[in-house]
């Protein structure tokens, strides 16, 4: 660890003292005059529903040398210094396998090769590599970064000022039809699975990256997909409906015994992209006391679906307003898609997260609601899911 990250670590621990005092106050539910000005001394912690940081580190994105998670870069979205600066206290770290393993980092939605199916053997090998990377970061962090397996570990980690990672599979190509790999990956810390990404696999069909489209674009869960849902319920692995077709969504809803969760999706009524959730889907999520993490990808936010980073933060607020009206205050969280998408310039990267929370404040959201959206709703959802 270098000098500057030691300094950041120290700053974080100072900020954390304020955080402990703040939670002590809020747990009593007594309004504290002037509390807001005390709180503004540090960013509100954020636990986020989705990032592709492990992939970007593995592929040495943006450099021919190893990316250093402990040094601030001026490209991509997450590293420890920028996370500290913006209050990002951790999140779901995706284990995602590219269709063309080893063929660069151009994941353009316009190239059909990026949606080709991936065989299980290489997918499992690549997934283990990503977990190795997470473990190497934790091991090199001097205790600053922890891989968490329970909601209690995440809560304790955030309170202790640590950066917390929860391992999540996005597209379960690494898992075989006999579920041997599922057991092995669970042992390594896997606690959340989206059965499918936007390409078909043995479990389900995924939605295409298509604007002005219903999410009803293909088949639902296969028989082995249904078995995956049952096994995840039994093992205590959260299931994620982001990227699945509408048929797959209803198939999962019918057998999943836990709350329905979309880690990184938005409202279809605000932006009619196939990746977003219809009102009917949101009603089903609300019924199970599930959670939706707001995705910052501009093409899933804008009502014209354009890939324009000059998208004002008010557009994110529009989705938050809509999701709150359908899911209530306990059902809306954040699911940035950092390191996997184009985000609004107003956020730019993890260091810019306070700008988003300020946009919520400007829209009249109170601090209690902002804390729920920022991290408390993910923590209580994981608890309700048995994690
Ligand atoms: Zn995704």
CA of 170 to the centre of ligand 1 (A): 7
DSSP summary character for residue 113: G
Q: What single-letter DSSP state applies at residue 100? A: S
pLDDT, one tens digit for every residue, the chain (387 residues): 333 333 334 334 434 433 333 333 333 333 343 344 444 457 899 999 999 999 999 987 655 566 789 999 999 999 999 999 999 999 999 999 999 876 666 788 888 888 999 999 999 999 999 999 999 999 999 999 999 999 999 999 999 999 999 999 999 999 999 999 999 999 999 999 999 999 999 999 999 999 999 999 999 999 999 999 999 999 999 999 999 999 999 999 999 999 999 999 999 999 999 999 999 999 999 999 999 999 999 999 999 999 999 999 999 999 999 999 999 999 999 999 999 999 999 999 999 999 999 999 999 999 999 999 999 999 999 999 999
7: helix, strand or coil:
helix
Answer yes or no: are the C-beta atoms of 296 and 232 closer than 8 Å.
no
Distance 120 CA to ligand 1 centre (A): 19
* CA–centroid distance, residue 33 to ligand 1 (Å): 41
| Closest CA relative to residue 342, chosen from 300, 384, 381, 377 | 300
DSSP string for residues in 125-143: HHHHHHHHHHHHHHHHTTT
Beta bridge partners of 332: 292
Q: Is 91 in a helix, a strand, or coil?
A: strand
Q: How far is the CA of 197 from the centre of ligand 1 (A)?
A: 7
Given this model, what pLDDT does residue 13 score?
Answer: 41
Ligand 1 centroid to residue 297 C-alpha, Å: 10
- For each of the domains in the chain, give its residue range(s) and CATH number, in order of start: 3-11+44-384 (3.20.20.140)
* Distance in Å, CA 146 to ligand 1 centroid: 23
Ligand 1 center from residue 242 Cα (angstroms): 7
pTM of the model: 0.89
Distance CA 162, CA 145 (A): 6
Alpha-carbon span 364 to 348, nearest angstrom: 23
Residue 32 near residue 374, CB atoms below 8 Å: no
Residue 193 DSSP class: E
Q: How far is the CA of 136 from the centre of ligand 1 (A)?
A: 24
């Amino acid at each position: 660890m270098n000098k500057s990250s030691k300094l950041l670590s120290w700053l974080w621990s100072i900020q954390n003292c304020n955080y402990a005092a703040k939670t002590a106050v809020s747990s009593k539910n007594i309004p504290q005059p002037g509390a807001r000005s005390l709180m503004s001394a540090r960013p509100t912690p954020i636990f986020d529903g989705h990032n592709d940081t492990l992939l970007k580190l593995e592929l040495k994105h943006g450099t021919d040398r190893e990316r250093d998670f402990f040094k601030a870069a001026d490209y991509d979205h997450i590293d420890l210094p920028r996370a500290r600066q913006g209050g990002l206290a951790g999140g779901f770290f995706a284990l995602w396998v590219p269709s063309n393993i080893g063929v660069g980092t151009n994941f353009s939605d316009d190239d059909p090769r990026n949606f080709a199916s991936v065989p299980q053997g290489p997918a499992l090998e690549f997934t283990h590599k990503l977990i190795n990377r997470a473990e190497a970061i934790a091991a090199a962090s001097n205790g600053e970064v922890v891989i968490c397996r329970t909601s209690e570990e995440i809560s304790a980690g955030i309170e202790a000022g640590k950066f917390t990672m929860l391992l999540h599979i996005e597209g379960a190509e690494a898992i075989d039809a006999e579920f041997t790999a599922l057991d092995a990956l669970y042992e390594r810390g896997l606690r959340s699975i989206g059965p499918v990404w936007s390409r078909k696999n043995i479990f389900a069909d995924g939605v295409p990256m298509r604007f002005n489209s219903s999410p009803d674009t293909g088949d639902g869960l296969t028989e082995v997909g249904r078995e995956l849902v049952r096994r995840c319920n039994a093992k205590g692995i959260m299931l994620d409906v982001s990227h699945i077709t509408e048929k797959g969504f209803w198939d999962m809803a019918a057998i999943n015994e836990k709350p329905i969760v979309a880690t990184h999706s938005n409202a279809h009524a605000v932006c009619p992209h196939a990746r977003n959730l219809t009102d009917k889907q949101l009603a089903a999520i609300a019924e199970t006391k599930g959670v939706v993490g707001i995705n910052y990808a501009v093409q899933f936010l804008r009502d014209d679906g354009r890939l324009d980073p000059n998208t004002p933060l008010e557009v994110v607020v529009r989705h938050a307003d809509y999701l709150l009206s359908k899911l209530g205050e306990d059902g809306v969280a954040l699911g940035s898609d950092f390191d996997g998408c184009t985000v609004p310039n107003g956020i730019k990267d993890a260091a810019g997260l306070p700008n988003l929370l300020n946009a919520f404040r400007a829209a009249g959201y109170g601090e209690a609601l902002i804390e729920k959206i920022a991290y408390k709703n993910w923590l209580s959802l994981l608890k309700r899911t048995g994690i």
